[in-house]
Structure formats: C-alpha cells, structure tokens
Amino acid sequence: MTADPLSADPAAAHRPYREVTDSRGRVYRIGETDRDILGHSRKLMVYLPWIAMMAISVFEYAYGSAEDTLSHAHGWTQSNTFWILSVWVFFQAGIAFPAGWMREKGILTARRAMYVGSGMCLVGFLALSHLSNVLLAILGFGVVGGIGAGLVYATCINMVGKWFPERRGARTGFVNGGFAYGSLPFIFIFNYAFDTGNYHRVLDLIGCYIMIVVFGCAFFFKDPPKNWWPADIDPLTFSGSEKNAASLAKNPPAVKQYTPKEAVRTGMLPLMWVAIVMTAGVSIFGISFQVDYAKDVGFGPLVAASSMGVMAVINGVGRGVVGWLSDKWGRKSTLVFVIVVLGLAQFGVILAGEMKSEWLFLFFAFLSGFGGGAFYPMFAALTPDYFGENYNATNYGLVYSGKLISGLFGGGLGSMVVAAWGYNGAYALAGGVSMVAAAIALLLRQPGRSDSDVLTAQPQPTG
C-alpha cells in the first residue's frame, strides 16, 4: 500500500489501494471502491448535486417571470431589473475560478463552499424581497446571491467529474440539467401565485428553501482522494464493463493532471474559453430577444405557448441527453453537433419570421433552447477529460469564466445590433458566430494524445 500525501482523508491510510502509472507518467489510485470511501454508492454524488442545482435554478431561469411584480412592488424600471440579473450572471460565472483555486489549495472544501453558498443564496432573496433601492438590491441579489449560486454551481459540477472519471458525460449532463428544469415550479409560482400583496412572503420562503436544500445536500459532500479511479475499471486497458470500456475508448482519460498554468500553455484551454464565450453569447442572445422578436413579427398569442417553463424543460433535458450521447459519440463530436444545431436554429428563427409561420417559429425556438443549454455540460466534461480531475475546479473555473463576456455581448451588445441591423440582422450574426464557434471546437485536441492514440501500456506499480 502507498500512502497518499495529497489525501485529506485520515481513514485513507487504513484502506488497501495501490498506485499505477501509465506510459506517460500519469498516476492512478486503484483498489478502493466508492463504498470504501463514502460508506455508500457514489450515485449519491450525482443525486445530491442534482438536487442542489435544481434548488438554485430559480435565480436565473425563473427571474424573468417575477420581473413585472418586482418592478411594481419596488418601483423599478425594466432596465433596473435587467441590470440586477446581469450583475448576478457576472458574479455567478466569475466566482468559479477563485472558488476553484481555493478548493485546490485546501482553503475551501466542497462542503464548506456549499455551506457558504447556501447562506449567500438566502441573503440574495432576502435582498430582492426587502430592498427597494436598486443599488442595494444589485449588491444583495446580484453580487451576494450571484456568488452564492456560483459557489453551489461550480462545486456540484466538479463533484460529479471527480467521482465519475470513466463515464462523466451522462452524469454531468444530468446534474447540469437540473439547473434549468428545476426552475419549473418557481416559474408557475411567479406567474400564478406572486403579486405585490405576497411578494415578501414568497421570496423569503424561496430563499429559506434554497438554503435548507443546499445545506442539507452539502452535509454529505465528499471529494474522492487525489488520482482516485473506480476499483472495477482498469484505466490503462479500459477493461471492465462493456459500457465503460466503450465510453473510455471514445473519451480517453487525460494523459496527466494539468495545473491551470500547464492547461493554459497547451493552448486548448484558451481555445475552449473562446468557444464558450461565443456559444454562450448566442445562447443568452436567444433567451433575451426571443419573446421580443416573436411580438415584432406578430406571434404574440403563441409566445405564451412557448413559455419559459417549456423552454426550461427543453433546455434541461437537452443537457442530460447530450451528456449521454457524448459517452457514445465522443465529447468533442457531440459538442460540435450541439453548437451547429444552435447556429442553425438562429437562421431558422429568421426563416419562420419571414414565412410568418408560428409552428415553425416554435420549432426553431425550442431547438435554440435545446442547443442553448446542452453545450454547458460538454465543456464541463471536456475539461477533466483534457486536463485531469485533480485541478478540475480551477481549470473549469477558467473555462466557465467565459460566460462573463458572453453576458455582455449576448445581452448588451445584442440590443445594439438589433437597434442597428434589426432582428433579422442580429439573428443572422448570432447564427454566424455559432458556426465560427463550431469551427473552433473542431480544433480541440486532447493534450498529449492524437485522435488515433489508444492506451496500451501495462500497469507499472509505484509502491
């Protein structure tokens, strides 16, 4: 048995395991089962993050349904409510990298990040409920609530990647999907049971609900030891169950554990960052202007049918579906497919508007919703596939930070393009940007490994 100096688990020294090294020097810790470490199945590390993600989804995907009531209750303009959400998006995405850095340095454990995040989420909704001053609401909901939700989001996504290194696509997509369709009950609440007479009570209760759910899930959060690999899967020969072997053949593990600086120097992490900036920008543009465009071409009555509730379900389910597909097709191929679908949907919306076809508009709007969410779990799964699990919190934080820029040109610059070129010109530009992003995604290569490279080395025990 070899002691693991990187493991924070005192019981690790009493569990039998060994470390093997492949031909490139990457170390795998094998021999321990998930039950040895957790005392139960690692499936719990899928369901608990999923539940927590559903809880925080109300921040982004249900906020639009509450805007009118909030405006009337606090005396805010439409611009005020837009900026509150924009600041929230900025800090929700921006906290991912510093939080990941603190986790990798041992300053912030996964459990502590969730605890802190749950409390900040509560503060965010209390601010939205009781602060009529726009700047204070931005500070409370946008900054504090955004950081809290970002801590929970990043921790949940990274947790899944660490526990399922051999088949992370479906699991990551499943957990990520909760961030979209988890908002469904809150969308109904904000549309049918939320007014200026009860908004304090509703928002306060939602804040308490988020804190209780996230705090409860966090109690069971635990990272696996560094370099851990499932005991029943040989990471060098892919031997094990047929499903896992097929997934590993399509998505082989990273050749080494890359630090953030090393990941940046490969050139692949910056390329992923550019791709997510462009793709997320198109997604945010579609969400921001779809309803306005529908009204502009006279589709008002059907906008209700394409409500955010349906969009949230499609967006979330799409994330789970592509996660499952990526285990079969390969992560990069699935990512390119999703981005192309998103781009074609933008051109399809223009076609539907020109034809004045309501059903065609709904089809492409829903298709845009599918593509507009499905790329997130692909980047979340590609990051540890390319750079390993040990520094995934920091590496994915760098990639996900691209959403900061996306929020700017997807919403703010998008409105400027609409004003200058009209909706057709803006949607055509969005479709073109998406196609460029797909071309960039085609350039992605796993560092240190060619597409035809297959691991054939035999295990070499190091201890």
Average pLDDT over residues 136-153: 96
- The whole-number pLDDT of residue 246 equals 64
Do the two domains 30-253 and 258-445 of this chain adopt the same fold? yes
For 258-445, the fitting CATH number among 1.10.260.40, 3.40.140.10, 1.20.1250.20, 3.40.50.720 is 1.20.1250.20
Question: Given a cut of 50, is residue 295 above it in pLDDT?
Answer: yes
Report residue 15's pLDDT band, with 50, 70 and 90 as the boundaries.
low
CA distance 256 to 27: 8
Average pLDDT over residues 249-261: 88
pLDDT at 292 over 90: no
Q: What is the dihedral of CA 195, 198, 201, 206, to 10 degrees?
A: -20
Q: How far is CA 352 from CA 171, 306, 321, 348, 409, in A?
A: 35, 14, 26, 6, 24
pLDDT above 60 for 459: no
Q: What is the pLDDT of residue 300?
A: 64
Distance from the Cα of residue 237 to its chain's centroid: 31
pLDDT beyond 50 at 305 = no
Domain boundaries, the chain: 30-253, 258-445
Please list, in sequence order, all residues whose beta carbon lies within 8 angstroms of the beta carbon of residue 377, skipping any fewer than 6 positions away. 169, 172, 173, 175, 176, 177, 319, 320, 322, 323
- pLDDT at res. 463: 43
Q: Give me the percent of the chain exceeding a pLDDT of 70.
A: 88
Nearest to 158 by CA among 222, 250, 253: 222
Class in CATH terms, 30-253:
mainly alpha
Distance between CA atoms of residues 162 and 227, nearest Å: 9
Range in 11-15, 281-285, 348-352, 442-446 with the lowest mean pLDDT:
11-15
Instruction: Kindly tell me if the per-residue pLDDT of 353 is higher than 60.
Output: yes
Number of H helices, E strands in the chain: 22, 3
In this prediction, residues 406-412 reach a mean pLDDT of: 71
Which pLDDT value is given to residue 315?
79
Q: How much is the pLDDT for 432?
A: 96
Q: State the pLDDT confidence band at 14, using cuts at 50, 70 and 90.
A: low
More confident position, 419 or 213: 213
Q: Which range is least confidently modeled, 171-180, 233-242, 316-325?
A: 233-242
Which tens digits make up the pLDDT trace of 198-248? 999 999 999 999 999 999 999 999 999 988 988 887 777 765 555 566 667
In this prediction, residue 152 has a pLDDT band, given cuts at 50, 70 and 90, of very high
pLDDT reading at 114 higher than 90: yes
Q: What is the overall mean pLDDT for the chain?
A: 85
Distance in angstroms (rounded) separating the CA atoms of residues 172 and 273: 19
Residue 260 pLDDT greater than 80, yes or no: yes
* pLDDT attached to residue 454: 43
